[in-house]
Structure 1
Amino acid sequence: MVFAVIIHYKNINSAPVRGFDKNQVCSEVPVLILENILGGAFNPRYMSVDEPFEEEPTVGNKREVSLAEDFYVDDTFLEQVDEEPAWVVNNHVTLVKKKYGLHRSKRGVDYMQEWHCKTKIEWTDLGPDYFPRFLRSARCLSEKCWFGFYKCKPRSFTVKLLRRKRHFCASIDEGESKVGFAGLQNELRELWVWEERAVNFCCDCTRS
C-alpha cells in the first residue's frame, strides 16, 4: 500500500533542537504525553495506539459488540466528542477507550456490485517511530470495474500524526510545552514532529 506523505517540520513545542551526540541520551516522551499532544487529531476510526484486531470477534455466527469505531458512517452522522470547552487539552485516546463496547457495528455497503470496486479495510503498522502506530485504510482489490471498461482508483483524505526523529533531542523548558512536563524542565527528550499522511477511504470506479 502506498501512502502519500506531507511532512511538517514543526516540533511539538518551540524548544531548541539538538543533533545526536553519542555521549548524550534522549529520554523517552511518555505515551500519556504523546496522547495529550495528539489531542483532537486522534480519530479512532482510522487510528489505533494499540495493535488492533484483524477481524471482529464472533460468538457462534453472530457479531459481538465492536471493539473499534466503524470505518464508514452515514451522511447524517453527528456526534459531540465531549462536554469540555474546545480550548481545554483533553486526552482523546482515553475518551475514545471509554466508548468501547457501547455500540454495535452496522453492516457496510455491498461493494461487490458490478459498478463498484472490491475493497478491503485493513490496518497498516507504521512502526515504532509513529504515534499512533496503526492506520486503517481501504485497499482496492480489483483493478477494473464496469465490465472492464473503467478502473478502480483509491480516494484519500489526510490525517495528522506524530513521528519520532531518531538521533534528535529537544529540551523541554518550562512554559514552552503544550502540555505538562512536570519535573522535566531543561531535560533532553526525544524529538517528535507532526506529519500529515494520506489515508484511502474508498475505491472509486472511474474512467481515468
Structure 2
Amino acid sequence: MQSMSVAFYYPSNDVEPFLHLRPRPSDDLPVLDLIEPPNSEFDPKEADLDVQILRKLLGRQYDPYYMSIEHPDPAMLHANCTLNGESNEGNRCKPPGPKPRWIDDLDVGTFPSGRKVKLSRKSRRKFKMWMWSLTHCPVVHSWKDLGVRFWPRWVKEGRCSTGRSCSFPPGMTCRPSRSVMKTFLRFHCQGWGKQHNCNWIKIHYPLIAECSCSC
C-alpha cells in the first residue's frame, strides 16, 4: 500500500533556511509524530490565524469529521463493541454497521464431512454474533495535536486494534485496509535567519479509514 506522508528536513539544529514538505511512500500509518524546530520565529502570528481567511483558503477540503479548529472533546470518540463492550438487549457485543453477508451464509449446522449438528436457532444466532464480533476490526480514533503550524490544529487519527487475533483459529490480526487523504494548511517558511517569508500552504495527510482482518 502506498501512502502520502509529510516529511520535514532541517539542515541543522541552529538554523532552518528551508522547510521542505515532500511526499514520501510509506507502509506505516498513522503518520509518525513530526519533529518541529523550536524557533518561534517560524510560528504563525496572531494576524496569520484569522479563522475566516483560513477557512476560505481550505474551502471545501475542510472536513469537521477528521479535523477540529478548537480543542476537541475526547469523550466524543468511541470504538466499536470489540473494545468498549457496547451491548444489545441480549448483553451480546454487537459491532456497528450492517452484518457482513458471509456471517449470514455460515453453515454452522454441518461439519465439513457433511454430518449434521443439532443446534437450536438461538445457539446458531449466538455463534454467528460471536464470530462477527471476533472478526470485526474497528478503527480506534484519537485526537492528535499537530501544533500551531498546522491548521486546523487537531486531526482525528485512526488505528487498528492490535490487542488480539481477529481469526479462529488465532493467527490473523487487524490491519489497515483503506486510507483517506485529508488536506490541511501548513505554515511554511523560506529564507535565512530573519529574512524569511512565511505563508500557509496545503499539504496532504493520510488517515486510516478502514481496518480488516488479514495475515
Superposition TM-score, scaled by structure 2 size: 0.47
**Relative contact order higher in (CA < 8 Å, ≥ 6 apart):** 1
Select the structure that is richer in helix.
2
Larger radius of gyration: 2
